[in-house]
Structure formats: structure tokens, C-alpha cells
Amino acid sequence: MYDLYMRLLNRFGFRYWWPGDTRDEILIGAILTQQTMWRNVELSIDALKRLKSLSISKISDMQIDNLETAIRSSGYYRQKAKRLKNACKQIMRYGGINKLLIMDIPELRVFLLSIPGIGEETADSIILYATEKPTFVVDNYTIRIMSRVYNKKMDYGILKNYFEGCIKKDAELYKDIHAQFVELGKNYCKKSDPSCDGCPLNQICLYIKED
């Protein structure tokens, strides 16, 4: 497993994830980036900054149509505006970001998953990048890549358990490994091109397959 990470690190370099100046910004971005390129999320974040509303507290009080306009570039903007505002309200009611910081991972995960619009990946992204606790984030790239490596359909829970079982629980390490998988998925092992040509994991995958 560390071989795999070292190979990715060597190919793509340290990823410095997640971009964002505050925990609030990271949490908000985690919801906005669902099924959306980060580039388009940045436009929404800039718009919220211009409105001086880039915080959980401010968004929980925003007019829904103002929020919709601000995050339009992130797609699904009506759904996301509604869910984002509701998530912010629930977090404020719960005690705000500082409350999340003092919770342990299992209870934090249960709380986040109870909020409509926050599924497993978003919950784990918030825990790992916004609160910096070591939970492994699995995304669709990771699922696709690992499914191809093992030539069988993998799901979220299987992969999360697998990675957490063989990698030491270190938030900085988990952050970069997830970021590396995203970079790998954007460049190789695509839906439209399952070819392994030039993939930096090529030999590792062959090794795993023979296992």
C-alpha cells in the first residue's frame, strides 16, 4: 500500500489538499464540489466571499435565492442551495464548527450523515479536511480504480475498511492519498479509456492482480 502511495507521490507530487483558508470554507466547498469540477466551485466561493458570506454562520441566515445565485456555477444550484443552507443551520444549532472539532470520528460521522445532502464521501471529506481527523475518504475515482485492479465491483465501505486497515491513521497521510487518487483518476483509468498505458500504478496493479 505504501508502495502504491510512493509511486503516486513520485508521479504527481504532494497535492497540498484541501485548498481553503478556513474550516468553514472547506466544509462549504465539500458540499459544492459534489459531482462538480473544483474550478466551478471556486467561482461560487469567490461569489460568497464578495458577499462576505463565506461562513457556516452567514449561509445559515442567507436568503435562499441569494444563495442560489451565488453558487450557480457549481451546478444543481437549487438543490445545493437548499441542502447547504439546511446543513449550515443544523451545524450552527449543534454548536458550530468548534463542536465538531471536539467530537470523535464515529459520532461526528453519524451526525454529518444525518444531514440531507451529506453522504459518505462528503462526510468523510469534512471530517478529514475540515476537522483534520484521520478518516479515509473514498471517491468514485478510487472505487473505479480499485474495482479495475481487483476486477470486481468495490463499494465505499469495503474500500474504506481496506485502506484504514493497512495505512496508519494519520490525517496528513490520508489527505494526500485521497488527493493522489483523484489526480490519478482524472488522468488515467477513465471511464471512456480503461487503458493502463502510462499509468503510474501499472506495475503495482499487475502485482496486486497476481496476488
Least distance between DNA and beta carbon 205 (Å): 19
Least distance between DNA and beta carbon 180 (Å): 12
- For 46, phi then psi, to 5°, come to -60, -40
Which CB sits closer to DNA, 30 or 204? 30
Least distance between DNA and beta carbon 17 (Å): 6
Which CB sits closer to DNA, 22 or 203? 22
Which CB sits closer to DNA, 198 or 210? 198
For the chain, what is the total number of helices (H) and then of strands (E)? 13, 0
Which CB sits closer to DNA, 29 or 207? 29
Q: Pick the closest to residue 18 from 52, 2, 42 (CA basis).
A: 42
Question: How buried is 106 (Cβ within 10 angstroms: 0-12 exposed, 13-18 middle, 19+ buried)?
Answer: exposed
For the chain, report the end-to-end CA distance as a whole number of angstroms: 13
Least distance between DNA and beta carbon 187 (Å): 10
Least distance between DNA and beta carbon 182 (Å): 5
Least distance between DNA and beta carbon 111 (Å): 13
The set of cell numbers assigned to 25 is: 470554507
Which CB sits closer to DNA, 103 or 124? 124
Cβ within 8 Å of residue 178, ≥6 positions away:
17, 128, 136, 137, 138, 139, 142
The set of cell numbers assigned to 99 is: 463542536
For DNA, the binding residues (CB under 7 A) are 17-19, 29-30, 33-40, 43, 72-73, 75-80, 115-123, 125, 129, 139-141, 153, 155, 182, 185-186, 190-192
DSSP string, 85-101: HHHHHHHHHHTHHHHHH
Contact 28, 84 (CB under 8 A): yes
What value does the CA radius of gyration of the chain take, rounded to a whole number of Å?
Answer: 18
Which CB sits closer to DNA, 3 or 60? 60
